[in-house]
Structure 1
Amino acid sequence: MDANIWKKFENWSSSDYIDAEDREELKQIKDNTKEVEDRFYTDLEFGTGGMRGIRGVGTNRINKYIVKKAAQGIANYMLKMDAEAAVDRGVVIAYDCRIGSYEYSLNMALVFAANGIKTNLFESLRSTPELSFAVRELGTMVGVMVTASHNPKEYNGFKVYWEDGGQVVEPHATEIVKEVYAVESFDDIKAMTQKEAEEKGLLKFVGKSVDDKYIEAIKKEVINTDIPGKKEFKIVYSPLHGTGKRPVQRVMKEIGFDSLYTVAEQEEPDGTFPTCDYANPEDPAVFKLGIELAEKMGSKLCMANDPDADRIGIAVKRKNGEWVYPNGNQVGLLLMNYILENKKDIPENGAVISTVVSTPMLDVVAADKGVKMFRTLTGFKYIGEKILEFETGKIDGTYLFGFEESYGYLVGTHARDKDAIVSTMLIAEMAAYYESKGTSVIEELEKLYDKYGWYKEGIQAITMSGKEGAEKIQNIMKSLRENMPVEVLGKKVKKVRDFQLQKDYDKEAGKEYPIELPKSNVIQMILEDDTHITARPSGTEPKIKYYYGINAKTEAESEKKLENTMKGFSEFLEK
């Protein structure tokens, strides 16, 4: 084993800063070389949304020591940037239902307080979009959301937000990471008790007043208020044991959806997620209980949020009784089309924002509807950054809608992150509206395909855990970058976009163009038939992801083409 790994293990095992119980856990794994290496071979890194990892004791795990170290680094950066603003405006912290979330959030709050930074801590669990909203509502310099979003139950983590309400982007992101890594010793972490922090006015609990303003902001995004049959339109909803229950039930009631049925087995917060192995609305399995309730109540629509309520998935019942699960791209297309066809007074510079791995069909529909289309890197923080550029006049555009294919949507500018509360509300409105017109969500989606072509998307996520897995992922990307094929699946490679090198290679024209996006380890190939294939290591899990986008004239042709493309590229990678 590497000497540095063992040294870090020994430091943690003998430090008085580590609780006796946690030191005992380390002693129990002392002879398990692989486990020691996996826990200490690296420091947990910031990904697309902050810091996220498996709970446990070690530098490559999420725990109260790591979050306190991170809080000290964030505090140091705030004080360097603007000490007066850091102290006076401070921080707001929220947390979700996951195991350890409250403990981590309180520990972070006390570190900020010990640095003289005023901290607002939510009195109980809240959603990620409400945290984003609260940053600007309370006027804080920084926000922190303790969550692992849709990751498996073994995970936890946090996301860091800047004063605009968006997740930190450059230059703040890199500088915060530097400050966190600069905290080398536990002795560098300042400490204060909760009692002392409250007595000095450095720790304040917030709740209802922010809730009320957040709900009011969401309700402003209603498009059609008078929909026939709205009160009777039956909807089944599940927060998947997370934070969505209270805000969703409240907003739906206040805008007149009186027939909302919440899945009883999944409505209470529980970080063990007892009814679903993976509390992710991208997984059709989480809808099992919801569909059972829908069949009983006569509902045609099921909706589910992830634990921190920033993502939403849906299940829709066809006229023939079959339940279907529109993917993230399809729901995004539906919402965009609904907004553009029903929202009044859309400005000439109206803009939609999505990511480089979302469906190519967006560009076609947006162009036909006369709105601008912007693409960002994967991660909603980049969409939030683009909204800020609109508002500051850096780019000409008025924000209408943003989404990423991984089931995250934002309607309105009250938040700077994906918001499943406002999305739940608008999807319900859209479904009720189409029902009142004698059609349905699925029928409207098929109309879009008939008009613009049958676009299909797929994703393959390959898990490669531990030190060896991380090295394999890097080697795959290196090999693709250095040995880019001229032909894939019997088709010429028309374009190659390398977001790490920030270059767009037009193979047909023999030209090279700059990519004006931040550097990111992503490679995208566009084939001669406009098939899109993108390789991207995950920023939050030990995975490499391959995204596919194809189009064909009919549904049957598109399904076959997608299947062949995904299978063929997998075989290509194996070779």
Structure 2
Amino acid sequence: MGIEITASHNDKRYSGYKLITKSGSPPTSKIREEISHEIFNNNEKIPYDLLSFNYNDKFFTFVSNNFLTINDFSLASSKNYDANLMKPYLEQICDIIFDKDLIKKFSSEIVIGYSALHGTGYVPVSQLFQKLNVHNVKYVSKMILPDPLFPLFDSKQILDPSDFQTAGVVVKAFNDQYNEYEFEKLDALCYTDPDADRLGVIIKVPKNEQFIFGQWKLLKANDVWALFLWYILEHVSKHSKSPYANFEQLFIVKSFVTSDLLLNICNKYKIECIDGKVGFSDLAEIVRNKWKENKINIGMFEESCGFGISGNHENDSTKLHILEKDGFLSLSLLIQILCYAKSKNLSLQELLNNIYLDDEIGYFATSRKELPEQGIFEGVREELHQEKILKNVENLYLKTNEKIKTNNPLMICGLPISKVEKFSTGRYDSKFWKGFPDEGIRFFLDSKINHITIRSSGTEPKLRIFVQYKISDITEKNILEKKNMQKILLNNYLMKLKN
């Protein structure tokens, strides 16, 4: 068992520790419960001097009792560190290159920006770029070195790669250091969260779409994962000697709030797609069970910018990577796709449009709304307000069920709610109420593929509203009109729900 000290993608007040198992994945729910039991039932007193000692050496200094300052970042690039950890780790990531010839030919043409968000990403990312021959890199220097105070961000702002405000800080810092002209040259501006297990991707918007999205756009994780999955399966389908060429063995897992765009891609290539609860620990449990059936995992996807690909750890020839999300792995896949786009003289957006226009896949409008929009529910009063909102949502669930039974469904924005589902694990029943919907409540809009899901965040006191709506009859001629329509449609849904 390993321990990682981090605030992850939360604001600086959330610094804490993550537990990591020997496979690289989070502990299962059963192990977490056992650890919690040990912690809360341990009567041993921890000596105060272990918590408040003054510690100084070449690399670290404790400042008061709260913050640790790292004095010498050369530790991260020393020969011992590189030999013992970084080198084999990056070699493993580089082994997951599906077309090495493509990388050799086009990686030097990529122009990419990168920000570490004051986290741990810079050293591994810079070495990964070198190994993949990506030299046209513009680093956001004010965020290069780790700083637990996250100085370029407001005190309560989360550093979530899927958050539009976080992306705005990255774009501003890039333009302040370089300029908007240099931004226009980028194929992508990307960033990892502070513990570097998630990746955000920003692209410049084609001029004919700027009236919809503005000059730049944060790609939704759903769209980035669609690019990843489509690229992997498209490549594997054309290489019969690949150990992953037997599509009957392949499967992906995704959290149930991740877009069904991935499901349609799986259906096109005839591989299995499994929905799981939100959180990589639960996705990892599904993967372990599928290994016993001799299945090979070709992707693990979370809507909150988490991606992994594990293969099958019970067979050395098909073992790929750890059972956990990994921002550096995500970045290596992004580089591969940028090379592919270069080879076809396409932008990432044009490549995405080609996926949307595939009749077997289609275009899914998705959106996520945070409550509160900024910060979190803080203090007893606001937490009670959060609980009240969830109780109102559950009452709506009960009312909707009654209306459906009487063939008089409730309507949202002119569409009938045809079905409703509650997802509950029972883990929080003792804290709230029996049947508490900790995994959320989903309202289906006249179709099993169009729905709205409301759930509590599992990592901070927030509520999240997820909307998915499949846009039909999309063509090359009307794609801009449809995109504009979907933006208006999603805004209407979210405004209605907020009210």
State which drifts further: 405-414 or 292-301. Answer: 292-301
Structure 2 residue 34 is matched with structure 1 residue 150: no
- Post-superposition CA distance 1:52-92 (Å, at most 9, x none): xxxxxxxxxxxxxxxxxxxxxxxxxxxxxxxxxxxxxxxxx
**C-alpha distance in 1 between matches for 2:498 and 2:491:** 11
Matched, 1:460 2:369: yes
C-alpha separation in 2, matches of 1:191 and 1:466: 29
CA contact (8 A) 1:454 1:555 kept: no
SS in 2 for 1:222: coil
Letter in 1 for 2:150: F
> How many residue pairs are counted as aligned between the two chains?
404
Query: C-alpha offsets along residues 176-205 of structure 1, whole Å, 9 cap, x if unaligned?
Result: 11221113563699979999xxxxxxxxx9
SS at match of 1:219: helix
With over 3 angstroms needed to count, the CA separation of the structure-2 counterparts of 1:521 and 1:223, relative to structure 1, is: closer
Shift of 1:232: 2.9
Deviation at 1:211, TM superposition (A): 1.9
Question: Tell me, what secondary structure is at the counterpart of 1:229?
Answer: helix
CA positional deviation for 1:248: 0.9
Distance 2:491 2:128 in 1: 40
The answer (yes or no) to whether the contact 2:386–2:463 under 8 Å persists in 1 is: yes
Q: Answer whether contact 2:197 2:327 (CA < 8 A) is retained.
A: yes
Structure 1 residue 497 corresponds to structure 2 residue 421: yes
State the alpha-carbon separation in 1 of the partners of residues 308 and 175 from structure 2. Answer: 26
Alignment partner for residue 231 of structure 1, among 87, 103, 108?
Answer: 108
Residue 250 (structure 1) aligned with residue 134 (structure 2): no
Q: By how many angstroms is 1:326 displaced? A: 0.8
- How far off is 1:545 after superposition? 1.3
Gapped regions of structure 2 (runs ≥ 5): 56-75, 311-319, 404-409, 427-435, 473-481
Instruction: Please say if 1:475 is aligned against 2:388.
Output: yes
Partner residue of 2:351? Answer: 444
CA contact 1:287–1:304 (8 Å) conserved in 2: no
Q: Tell whether the 8 Å contact from 2:437 to 2:455 is kept in structure 1 after alignment.
A: no
Q: Over aligned residue pairs, what C-alpha RMSD do you find?
A: 2.8
In the alignment, what sits opposite 1:295?
Answer: 181
TM-score (norm 2): 0.75
SS at match of 1:375: strand
- Amino acid of the structure 2 residue aligned with 1:437: K
Does the alignment pair 1:526 with 2:419? no
Letter in 1 for 2:467: Y
**Amino acid aligned to 1:287:** V
Report whether the alignment pairs 1:165 with 2:74.
no
Q: Distance in 2 between matches of 1:284 and 1:488?
A: 34
Q: Does residue 411 of structure 1 match 2:309?
A: yes
Which residue type is aligned with residue 288 of structure 2?
A: L
- 1:475 Cα shift? 3.2
Pairs within 5 Å for 1:125-274: 142-184=1-43, 186=45, 207-208=81-82, 209-227=84-102, 228-274=105-151
Residue 29 of structure 2 aligns to a residue in which SS? coil
Partner residue in 1 for 2:202: 315
Alpha-carbon distance in 1 for matches of 2:31, 2:49: 22
2:422 counterpart of 1:538: no
Q: What is the match of residue 25 of structure 1?
A: none
Q: Distance in 1 between matches of 2:467 and 2:296?
A: 30
Q: 1:488 to 1:470 in 2, by over 3 A?
A: farther
Provide the C-alpha distance between the structure 1 equivalents of 2:232 and 2:296, rounded to a whole number of angstroms: 14
How many percent identity over aligned positions? Answer: 25
Secondary structure at the aligned position of 2:106 is classed as coil
CA 1:357–1:189 in structure 2 vs 1: closer, same or farther (change >3 Å)?
Answer: farther
Change (3 A) 1:519 1:222: farther
CA offsets per residue over residues 226-247 of structure 1, 9 Å max, x none? 2333213211111122111111
Measured at CA, do residues 563 and 443 of structure 1 come closer, stay the same or move farther in structure 2, by a change above 3 Å? same
Residue in 2 that maps onto 1:401: 299
Q: Deviation digits for residues 204-259 of structure 1, max 9, x if unmatched?
A: x9943122221111111111222333213211111122111111111121122122
Provide the C-alpha distance between the structure 2 equivalents of 1:189 and 1:382, rounded to a whole number of angstroms. 36
